[in-house]
Amino acid sequence: MSPRGLTRALRGRGARLAALALLSGFALAWSTPLLWMLNASMRDMPFGARDAASLLPDFKPSLAHFSDAWTQGDFAQWYLNTLIVTLGILAVQLVTITLAGYAFARLEFRGKTIVFYLFLLQLTLAAPILIVPNTLMVVRLGLYDSLPGVMAPYFASAFGVFLMRQTFKTIPRDFEEAAILDGASFLQMIRLVLVPLARPGMIAFAIVSVTSHWNEFLWPLMVTDSPGKMVLTVGLTSFVRSAEQAADWGLVAAATLLVAGPLLLAFALFQRQFVNSFLFTGIK
C-alpha cells in the first residue's frame, strides 16, 4: 500500500473510532437513569444516604425491594388491566386503520384529499387538550371508571391510518384484481391478500401503539377511580407518594422496573424484528 493510501486508511479508521466513541458516550448518558434504577432496586439505600445517587453496584445485591413492591402493590391486577387496555385498543385499531387506510389508498370519492388532511389534523393536537371533552363524553356514555372508558378515545388513530395508507400504496393492484377474479369478496380480499402483505407496517404500528398505551398515565388517572381499575402507571403513583414521605427509594426503583420491565424485555428479545418493521415502513 502506498503512503497516501495508508494515510487515508488510518484517517478512515480514526474517524470510525471517533464516531464509535461518541455514540458510546451518548448511549451511556441515555442509559444512566436506567442503570441507577437497576442499581437502586438491588441495594439497601436508607433515606438520606450519602451514596443514594451512586452508580456503583452493591457487593451484596438483593431482590428484597422487588418482593416488597410486589407485596405492597396489586401488580397482578394492574398487569391484567394494562394488558386488557393495550391489547384491546390495538385489536380495534388494527381493524379501523386497515379499513380507513385502504379507503384513502384505493377508493375514489369526492373530497377524499380534504377529508384525509382533516383526519391528519389529529396529529397536531396535544393529548391533554382533549382530556375535558373526552372525559365528558365518557361520563355521558356511562363508561367512567371502567376499562372500556380508558380504551374508547384511542380506537381510531390518525397515525395508523396514515401508515396503512402509505403501506397499501406500495402494494401492486394486481394482487387485489387476482383475488376478485378468483371470487373473493371485499373483506376476504383485504383479510387474505392485503393484510398479509401489509404485515410489516402493522407490526410497526403495533409497536408504537402498545408502547404508547402501556406508558399512558394522565388519561387513565382521569377516568378511573377504583383500585380494581388501575393500570400499572397509575398504581405506581402509590409508591411515589410513599417516597415523598421519606420511604426507601429503592422500593420505588423496583416498582418502576416492574412496570417498565416487560417492554424492555420485549425489545431485547425482538430487537431485530422491531428495526426491520420500521425500516420497511420508512420510519427512521
What's residue 278's pLDDT? 59
CA distance 37 to 113: 48
- Residue 194, Cβ density class (10 Å: 0-12 exposed, 13-18 middle, ≥19 buried): buried
The pTM of the full predicted model, rounded to 2 decimals, is: 0.82
Domain ranges, ordered by start, for the chain: 1-41, 74-281
For domain 74-281, the question of CATH label 1.10.3720.10 is answered with yes
Helix (H, G, I), strand (E, B) or coil at 278: helix
* Cell 413492591, located at residue: 69
The 8-class DSSP code of residue 183 comes to T
C-alpha torsion 14→16→22→28, nearest 10: -120
pLDDT attached to residue 283: 45
Q: What is the model's pLDDT at position 274?
A: 67
- Taking the C-alpha atoms of residue 56 and residue 67, their distance in angstroms, rounded to an integer, is 22
Q: Which one-letter amino acid corresponds to residue 164?
A: M
pLDDT, residue 110, reads 87
Per-residue confidence in pLDDT tens, the chain, 284 aa: 556 655 666 566 777 888 888 888 887 888 788 888 888 788 776 554 555 556 666 657 778 888 888 988 899 999 999 999 999 999 999 999 999 999 998 888 888 889 888 888 888 887 788 888 999 999 999 999 999 999 999 998 889 999 899 888 888 888 888 888 888 888 888 888 888 888 888 888 998 899 999 999 999 999 998 888 999 999 988 877 655 555 577 788 888 899 988 888 887 777 676 666 656 554 44
